[in-house]
């Protein structure tokens, strides 16, 4: 628990001043680059305070010069602060639409081009989210998400939700898969207690939707590549 408190204190120590300074500055400038950079630095500082070390490989594989849909396996609450600062460029995420209504926090999320997802799962609402995400990609932002939708308890990937792959087929954007290892031991699902450790992150080769390929077919290709990378680790 002491490690969790150190991380939380570090996030607040940099995060609160970042919000106080960064939000007005971004509104005046019409640009969130500084605020985004501060947020990524805050995540790195929090990991350092918690004794979390990150080892990265394959980052040169990330497609430079175009926005990508970044996907990763999900095994711990530590995954987002480990992964997001590693993604080149500015990155958006999908989040619950209700969060956009929170004062100040909602403003920050809208400024960061976050993509709201409705709690209901109607086809029309899903199409609205994909259309919004396509516009974010067209604006030069990457989009990051966990296709499993929740954390795995045993390290094996859960079934994929198809949103990322509908988005890739519609927009033509490449999928940039990542693999994270080691974070489940730091903060397993079902607890807020964390401990120090080392995360291993690997960028895989980007996967582009082929002409005429369906979202299901693309999802299978991406999943196969990620599972192969996990097997290489002996899983």
> Do you know the residue count of the chain?
235
Give phi and psi for 209, each to the nearest 5: -65, 135
What DSSP character marks residue 98?
G
As given in the structure block, the two tokens for residue 59 are: 């980052």
Between these two residues, 159 and 18, which has the higher pLDDT value? 159
- Beta partners for 200? 55, 181
For 77-123, the pLDDT digits (tens) are: 899 999 999 999 999 988 877 777 777 667 777 877 888 776 656 67
pTM attached to this predicted model: 0.88
Between these two residues, 200 and 114, which has the higher pLDDT value? 200
As given in the structure block, the two tokens for residue 44 are: 């790195």
**Using CA atoms, how far apart are residues 134 and 168, in angstroms rounded to an integer?**
9
What's residue 149's pLDDT?
86
**Using CA atoms, how far apart are residues 43 and 150, in angstroms rounded to an integer?**
20
Give phi and psi for 25, each to the nearest 5: -60, -45
Going along the chain from its start, the domains and CATH numbers come out as 53-231 (3.40.50)
How confident is the prediction for the chain on average, in pLDDT? 87
What's residue 2's pLDDT?
60
C-alpha 79: how far from its chain's center? 8
**Using CA atoms, how far apart are residues 37 and 87, in angstroms rounded to an integer?**
12
Confidence of residue 127 (pLDDT cuts 50, 70, 90): confident
Q: Is the pLDDT of residue 69 over 60?
A: yes
């Amino acid at each position: 628990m002491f490690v969790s408190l150190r991380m939380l204190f570090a996030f607040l120590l940099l995060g609160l001043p970042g919000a106080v300074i960064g939000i007005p500055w971004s509104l005046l400038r019409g640009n969130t680059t500084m605020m985004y950079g501060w947020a990524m630095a805050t995540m790195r500082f929090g990991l350092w305070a918690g004794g979390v070390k990150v080892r990265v490989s394959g980052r040169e594989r990330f497609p430079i010069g175009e926005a990508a849909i970044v996907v990763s396996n999900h095994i711990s609450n530590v995954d987002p602060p480990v992964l997001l600062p590693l993604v080149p460029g500015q990155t958006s995420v999908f989040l619950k639409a209700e969060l956009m209504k929170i004062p100040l926090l909602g403003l920050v999320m809208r400024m960061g081009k976050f993509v709201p997802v409705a709690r209901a799962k109607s086809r029309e609402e899903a199409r609205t989210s994909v259309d919004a995400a396509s516009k974010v990609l067209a604006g030069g932002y990457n989009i990051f998400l966990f296709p499993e939708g929740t954390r795995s308890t045993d390290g094996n990937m859960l079934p994929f939700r198809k949103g990322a792959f509908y988005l890739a087929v519609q927009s033509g954007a490449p999928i940039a898969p990542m693999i994270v290892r080691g974070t489940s031991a730091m903060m397993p699902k079902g607890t807020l207690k964390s401990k120090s450790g080392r995360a291993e992150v690997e960028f895989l080769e980007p996967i582009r939707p082929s002409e005429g390929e369906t979202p299901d077919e693309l999802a299978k290709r991406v999943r196969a590549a990620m599972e192969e990378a996990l097997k290489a680790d002996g899983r």
